Amino acid sequence: MHAILALAARHLQEAPKTHESHPPYEYDVLEAYHLQKALSNFSQTFSHHAHANQDAMLATSFLLFFHVSSALNINPPQAQPCEDASFTFLRGIQSIVAAGSLIAHSGCYRTLVAAPVPSPVIVPQAEVCLEPGSAFIQLISNLPPESPHIKNREIYIERFESLTLHLSASTAHGLKAGALEELLFSFLRWQALCPPAFVGLVKAHDAIALVVLAHYYAAVGSVLSRVDNKWWWFRKKPRHMVKTIGKYIGPAWAAWLEWPRAAVQRYENIQR
């Protein structure tokens, strides 16, 4: 219940202000209160009673994931400028499902919790998008031998190749509303299934891992721009992540971020 109220308070802060409340509600205060309660209860339950409350834990995990995706830190601390807590909740959802939850396999989020497949099957007509993939491979192939990133090259390539068809599908034309929504679930699943080695690189603010994450969010934003009146909690995050990553890694990595920045610019122009 606290997770629902925290998310509702966040939603009311995002909603257009059509009239003044009487008395005015301090939704940010309510949000902070209910979020603290939700996280405290969630942590205790996850530690001691997760197996007995799998469906409730799954629902709470999603609510907290929705919240953390909508509550963006406009002025992130220097120590954690590109932090993405989505990994925590999405991987937690995976662990709950792996423990035997049945309800997750029959609802609208079945794509997220399905067994891994080589590529999304929802848009088989999509052709592989050559531009971001070929540019990325060329850049990573041209890393100097003394680069500290050389040792993680296989991790970067594996994650980017696993994302390639998602990038293609995000720009495919003529997709119906149902296909777009399932594509978004497939994107969430990609993040939920990221291996610990890659997640660790993101948490360490490794520049190339963040470049891969920027491609991911740019593609998510392209799909969200075509989904009307849904996923309100996710709409601001893609642009925010691409911008924050670009600012953090700096102009030396501009060539690596060319596709994500162009993709964000395209869907922003369409929305205007």
**Residue 192 clears pLDDT 70, i.e. is over it:** yes
Q: Which residues, 6+ apart, have CB-to-CB distance to 104 below 8 Å?
A: 58, 93, 96, 97, 110, 112, 113
**Residue 218 clears pLDDT 50, i.e. is over it:** yes
> Residues 243-262: what's their mean pLDDT?
94
pLDDT, tens digit, for every residue of 56-78?
A: 777 777 777 777 777 676 555 55
Specify the pLDDT at position 207.
Answer: 95
This prediction's pTM: 0.76
Q: DSSP letter at 115?
A: P
DSSP percent split of the chain into helix, strand, coil, nearest 5 = 70, 0, 30
Per-residue burial over 211-234, b = 16 or more CB atoms within 10 Å of its CB, e = otherwise? bbbbbbbbbbbbbbbebeeebebb
Type and span of the H or E element at 90: helix 86-98
Top-confidence residue, 168 or 31:
168
**What is residue 136's three-state secondary structure?**
helix
Percentage of residues in the chain having pLDDT higher than 90: 31
Percentage of residues in the chain having pLDDT higher than 70: 61
Which of the residue ranges 49-58, 109-118, 153-162 would you say has the lowest mean pLDDT?
109-118
Token pair of 34, please? 């209910």
**Residue 242 clears pLDDT 90, i.e. is over it:** yes
Token pair of 202, please? 């993101």
Rounded to the nearest 10 degrees, how much is the dihedral formed by the CA atoms of 138, 171, 169, 142?
10
Which of the residue ranges 24-28, 120-124, 171-175, 243-247 would you say has the lowest mean pLDDT?
120-124
Top-confidence residue, 222 or 30:
222
**Residue 146 clears pLDDT 70, i.e. is over it:** yes
